[in-house]
Amino acid sequence: MNTLYPLFFKPVYKDYLWGGRRILTEFNRNEPEGIYAESWEVSDRLDGMSLITNGPLKGKTLHDIVQSHPKALLGKVHLSGRFPLLLKLIDAHDNLSIQVHPDDKRAKTYGGEAKTEAWYVLDATEDAVIYAGFNAHYPQEIVDRNLATRDILSMMHTIPVEKGDMIFIPGGRLHAIGKGCFVLEIQQNSNTTYRVYDWDRVDSKGNPRELHLDQARQVIHYDDVVDPRLTPKLLEETSTYKQWNLLSASHFEVEKWTIRAEINWPRFDQFEILFFRAGTGILTWEGGTHLIEMGTTCLLPAELSSLTVETKEDLELLRFYIP
Decide if 115 contacts 188 (C-beta within 8 A): yes
Q: Which of 195, 229, 267, 319 is catalytic?
A: 195
Q: Binding site annotation covers 212?
A: no
- Cα–Cα distance measured from residue 182 to residue 259, given in angstroms and rounded to the nearest whole number: 23
Instruction: Tell me if residue 45 is catalytic.
Output: no
Decide if 295 contacts 3 (C-beta within 8 A): no
Decide if 251 contacts 282 (C-beta within 8 A): no
- Cα–Cα distance measured from residue 140 to residue 138, given in angstroms and rounded to the nearest whole number: 6
- Cα–Cα distance measured from residue 294 to residue 297, given in angstroms and rounded to the nearest whole number: 9
Q: Binding site annotation covers 117?
A: yes
Q: Binding site annotation covers 251?
A: no
Ramachandran assignment for 320, one of left (phi > 0), alpha (psi -120 to 50 degrees), beta (any other)? beta
Decide if 268 contacts 311 (C-beta within 8 A): no
For 215, the 3-state DSSP assignment is helix
How many CA atoms lie within 13 Å of 165's alpha carbon, on the beta-carbon side?
A: 21
- Give the ranges where the chain is alpha helix by DSSP (H): 22-26, 62-68, 70-74, 104-110, 140-148, 213-219
Binding residues for Zn(2+): 101, 117, 175
Which residues participate in catalysis according to the annotation?
195
